[in-house]
Amino acid sequence: MRRPTIMDIAKAAGVSKGAVSYALNGRPGVSESTRARILSIASDLGWAPNNPARALAPGGRVGAIGMVVDRPARSLGIEPFFMQLVSGVETELASSGIDLMLQVAENVEAELAVYRRWAAERRVDGVIMVDLRVADPRPEAMGVLPLPAVVLGGPEGAGGLPCLYTDDGASVREVVHYLAALGHRRIVRVAGPEDFVHTHDRTEAFQQAARRAGLEEARTVHADYTGEAGGRTTRRLLAAAEPPTAVVYDNDLMAVAGLGVAAEMGVEVPSQLSIVAWDDSALCRLVRPSLSAISRDVVSHGRRAAAMLNAVLAGKDVASEETPLGELQPRGSTGPLVL
């Protein structure tokens, strides 16, 4: 079917095109009763604004923001963190009629190519950038592209862009001290990709806390956040001559997989092995024993990031913000070491 036009609305309402334009754009020039009648007719005809055309006007906006994710595509559909984050972004955008364009990229270069294409084609008004990296080229690129951005992460490395960040180090220290108090002296952390800033920050905090606690062994190994990688890594750790007595995972998928491997290998949780997951989710509460986890309000995190970007797009000065610390939720997967 042909897309309804302003002329179609004008004919149906018996008014001029100018009157329809005034009514649809909320400008003075028509009475409130006429405006209401025009809006009603436009709705009945299924009219919607032509956002690409509006974007061509000075100060015009497309009505969409973008997010590119450089994570394994197979894990995004089941990883609670990103599902909750997107849910929060969508919830914030829904009230203003703005769409979210989500795309998966295989690496940073591919992600930058997406940003360049979006900017050239006026596909989005701005972007929410996730997974800040060490020596990340993206913030500098955003300074060249006409594409406003808000960063999830930082503030170091955000290149002066407004960012929404959390002190992950405080949560890491809390977990290490908790496990040490339970008698654990060999703790391994199964982390995400090494080049992520939040991975680097957590690793530094982990090593510092381990030194203070006088642990016999404390090391970090890296995986890719998938359950498969978490399972493989756990299998290698538990097959070692001196396996860890506690493992901290950087997300819930890897922790759930690790719990399954422990059962497969006859390692009792928590009497022989304690497990802690990052980012509490329904997965952590549904398995048995339920997983101790760091809990954060990820939905609110997404909502706030979208609100910050909307403010940037409205021309407001937006300062970086720190979110509340994650809280350790002890459950059945952690307990005193039984020798």
- How far apart CA 76 and CA 16 sit, in angstroms, is 50
pLDDT in tens, 281-320: 999 999 999 999 999 999 999 999 999 999 999 889 999 9
Phi-psi bin for 266: left (phi > 0), alpha (psi -120 to 50), beta?
Answer: left
pLDDT of residue 295: 95
pLDDT of residue 168: 94
Q: Over 103-157, what HEC string results? A: EECCCHHHHHHHHHHHHHHCCCCEEEECCCECCCCHHHHHCCCCCCEEEECCCCC
Do 19 and 38 touch, CB atoms closer than 8 A? yes
Residue type, 154: G
pLDDT of residue 46: 81
How many C-beta neighbours within 10 Å does residue 53 have? 9
Q: Which residues of the chain have pLDDT under 50?
A: 56, 58
pTM equals: 0.81
Which of 179, 234, 173 minimizes the C-alpha distance to 201?
173
- How far apart CA 209 and CA 232 sit, in angstroms, is 26
Residue type, 24: L
- How far apart CA 82 and CA 70 sit, in angstroms, is 12
Do 115 and 145 touch, CB atoms closer than 8 A? yes
